[in-house]
Structure 1
Amino acid sequence: MRTVIGGMQWAVFLIASSIAAPIAIAHMFGMDTAETALFIQRTIFVLGIACLIQAFIGHRLPINEGPAGLWWGIFVVYAGMISIAYPTARDALQALQSGMLVSGFLFIILAISGLITKMKNLFTPSVTFTYLMLLTLQLSGTFLKGMVGVDSVGDKIDGLLFLGSFAVLLVTFMTMNNKYSWVSRYSVLLSIGLGWILFLLIGKADSVKLEVGQWISFPDLFVYGKPVWDSGMFITAGFITLLLIANMMASIRVMESLLKQSFSITPPDRMKQGAIASGINHLFAGFFSAIGPVPISGAAGFVGATRMATLKPFITGSVIVVLITLIPSIMSVFAVLPSSVAYAVTFAIFTKMVEMAFRELAAEPKQERAYKVTAVGLMIGVGIMFIPQESMSDLPNALAAVLSNGLIIGTIIAIIIEQFYLWNERRGVE
């Protein structure tokens, strides 16, 4: 029973933390209600399958897969190219669909070549701290805006929505740190459930409308047509794959650190297998015309909050997610989950990430060097977050998508600076 309830909690967390991306992208591409529902179905279905692939043949860690932020950015860029480089939204989506396939093959090739193993050594405590801090800083604004009902420029803060979100936030903190182990273990499930009820009572949640029609609905393959060759997308996929590898390694590194420090578990090194599984997952994303998945660092905060470090609940939750996506009536229930509730619960979870970041920095033996590395990485990464994306509109698409991402650029800068210091130290010894 504990495994089933834990699995339900994983399923709710996975869906709640992932559903915003396909909804936002569907809106950008002008999809109608039916197309949006199918796009959500395909994306969540791929995420559930991706979790199972990682659990059985990949890194074998309780890390949920989510829509890659980098791919999200590329979707935004390509949505702006409709009627300029692509005649219709379908043509742009067809190119993106093909890009997922290219990325999948590149993942597998790079993993088999051994490059993944060499790159793992770059993620030292200093670099991991920089990555975690940039991640939380980048997302904190999104969480807070979602909690107060601000979606775009000009929106006013919704006071009642804020009070409801704040109440959910308090409930999440209370359940996460409750003296009763069963309460802390299922804190996410309890918080989302209680928050949903609260938002229904204050009139800030839509009523559930069950879909009638098909009981079972399987996602379609190649929704936007057969794969096409797009040289621009090929280059973009190459850049994105390299950065997603770095993202994947950081997420695995964070979970490994948590398991060692909090659970005395030393997992085997399966970085190469994780990269191959990520390649397979991207192939699935291409087949089902969905968003490319990536291991989510926030899973470490979830595991730290719920104290569920084993794979059984994670696998159970992934199976539940896959089954849910095949039943339209259940998907329609999750589609009306108040986003502010999801943002409030996720905000609390990500506070664990900040705690982990400082523990990582404390583990660095050479503190002086670590301060210099993280200072530059954080300043550049955060600075980029304040540069409007429109100011990079004249750059090539792939370059604009990368340079506008403070998380990736800040982490890369930290890696370069630390490797420079290490090179100098080795040269001094010689």
Structure 2
Amino acid sequence: MKAVKAFPAGVAAVQWVFFIFANTIVVPVSIGMAFDLSAAEVAMTLRSSLIFTGIACVLQGLWGHRYPLMEGHSGLMWGLLLNLSASASALGMDFQTIGGGIASGILASGALMLIVGLFGLAKWVTKIFTPMVMSVYLFLLSVQLIFIFFTGMLKLTPAGTVNVPVSLLSVGIVLLVTVLKIKGKGAVSNFSILIGIVTGWGIYSLLFPADTALTASSHSFSFFPLGAPNLQWGIILTTFIAGVLNMSNTIASIQAAARLFKEEPAADRFNRSLSLTGLYTAAAAFLGLVPYAPFTSTIGFLESTRILDRIPFLIGGALFSVLGLIPAAGSFFATMPVTVGNAVLFVAYLQLFGTALQSIQGTLFNSDTIFRIALPVLAGISLMTVDPAIFSQLPIYIQPLLSNGLIMGVLLSIVLELSVKWEQYNKAGLHEK
């Protein structure tokens, strides 16, 4: 009986490795390209990301929030860093200067997060990030992630058009994983993510040449590859504000996990998790990595696989760190086609939209209170879809904030929740009926 139980746990751990890998590999590579790092520096940040992400997951699972929630590079901060790097020419700064300002902002936000966690101030954070703010965050995060993964699974040619064969394979993988998830039973449904990755990777390798340009080979190590900390206050402020808002990831993730496990999360879970994430965030600045946060989107993965046991998660996190310690293993996994990973994640994160819908169940809206969620969500989506160049006439230091739909949507929701007494409008709506 023990051997039977060990096998599914081992397979589930492998599935966790693939899930964490698919969510991690693209981030350091894209940041390295955006900041014009050398191949050796990209390889360094890639291996650092593999090692550190696995350790971060294990520590959160054992001591932090103690849920099977991936701790990885924050999507909010990832988008911000890409936006700032794209603004280099407009700012009249080189990448190292911008990267140094980002490092300063990340260190400051990490220190604040650590203080909040160590001094038990998470309850004050939850008063700002109310359930409605978290609902707005979940809706916008699901939209942002789907945009990223949908774009990522459609391979483009050098001319900027769709590579039809590769893109059709991605669509096929989406259909395969969806059918396995909906129609499959037992292990087939639970391991649909793993089956999709392995099958898609195998077919891709047979039909198209594998991309092996980036490897995890050995190289020299250095701190602050993006740039040494400096006092570029505009960039520091922008990064710091985003870092503070990044705490919403912790609140939303723990609350969503608690609902999934049908329990009420204790305050110390928030405090311990914020303490660890604060440390991870500060370390990310030294290593040139995108700051960390618990992945709310992991809820979609858990709902897809229906494997809620914490042991496979801990084993998967430990194995993931090993990948960074073994150059050959890192090199092998670095050949996984990005389009395959994005196609599988596209299906996995459709569940996140369901989590967002569940977060507002039981809330009644009328013609007045609908603004409570519709305004920040739709305004945020609108900002996601417009060209950031339309803000070029505004001060350059606020352009990255205004063009980030997720940040602005959450900020707008916070303002609405703090400034409007929505209960009186609920009563008025009931009275009209």
| TM-score normalised according to structure 1 size | 0.86
Task: Check the 8 A contact 1:19/1:40 in 2, yes or no.
Answer: yes
The 2-side partners of 1:31 and 1:212 are apart by: 15
Deviations 1:323-367 (A, max 9, x none): 111112111122221111111111111111122222222232x34
Q: Could you say which residue in structure 2 is the equivalent of 1:142?
A: 148
1:201 is matched with 206
CA distance in structure 1 between the aligned counterparts of 2:157 and 2:258, rounded to whole angstroms: 35
Deviates more, 1:219-228 or 1:31-40: 219-228
Alignment of 1:86-101 (within 5 A): 88-101=94-107
Question: Is the CA contact 1:98–1:228 (under 8 Å) kept in the aligned structure 2?
Answer: yes
Partner of 1:289: 288
Q: How many angstroms apart in 2 are the aligned matches of 1:278 and 1:202?
A: 41
CA distance in 2, matches of 1:398, 1:19: 29
Matches of 1:179 and 1:93 in 2, distance apart?
A: 47
1:174 aligns with 2:179: yes
Which residue matches 2:401?
402
> Which residue of structure 1 lines up, in the alignment, with residue 298 of structure 2?
299
Q: Shift of the alpha carbon at 1:93?
A: 3.0
Q: 1:207 to 1:392 in 2, by over 3 A?
A: closer
Residue 57 of structure 2 aligns with which residue? 51
Amino acid at match of 1:236: T
SS in 2 for 1:66: strand
Aligned counterparts of 2:411 and 2:89: Cα–Cα separation in 1 = 34
Give the aligned residue type for 2:255: R
Partner of 2:166: 161
Q: Does 1:383 align with 2:382?
A: yes
Deviation at 1:112, TM superposition (A): 4.2
Aligned ranges 1:76-91 → 2 under 5 Å: 76-80=82-86, 82=88, 88-91=94-97
C-alpha displacement at 1:374, in angstroms?
1.6
**1:311 aligned residue:** 310
Give aligned-pair identity as a percent: 27
What amino acid is aligned across from residue 46 of structure 2 in structure 1?
I
Using the alignment, how far apart are the partners of 1:419 and 1:351 within structure 2? 30
Q: 1:159 to 1:344 in 2, by over 3 A?
A: same
Q: RMSD in angstroms over aligned alpha carbons?
A: 3.1
Residue 21 of structure 1: which of 23, 27, 31 is its match? 27
Q: Distance in 2 between matches of 1:237 and 1:379?
A: 24
The amino acid of 1:373's aligned partner reads R
Would the alpha carbon gap of residues 164 and 111 (structure 1) be closer, same or farther in structure 2, given more than 3 Å must change? same
Q: Tell whether the 8 Å contact from 1:123 to 1:253 is kept in structure 2 after alignment.
A: no
Give the letter for the 1:163 counterpart: L
How many angstroms apart in 1 are the aligned matches of 2:309 and 2:220? 30
Shift of 1:273: 1.7
Quick one: which amino acid aligns to residue 49 of structure 1? I
The one of 266, 269, 292 equivalent to 1:268 is 266
Shift of 1:81: 5.8
Contact kept, 8 Å, 1:46 with 1:290, in 2: the verdict is: no
AA in 2 matched with 1:21: V
In the aligned structure 2, how far is the partner of 1:164 from the partner of 1:414?
39
1:236 aligns to what? 238
Shift of 1:198: 1.5
Task: Work out whether residues 145 and 151 of structure 1, in 8 Å CA contact, stay in contact via their aligned partners in 2.
Answer: no
Distance across 1 between alignment mates of 2:398 and 2:124: 25
1:116-149 CA-partner distances (Å, limit 9, x unpaired): 3123145555433322222222232332222222
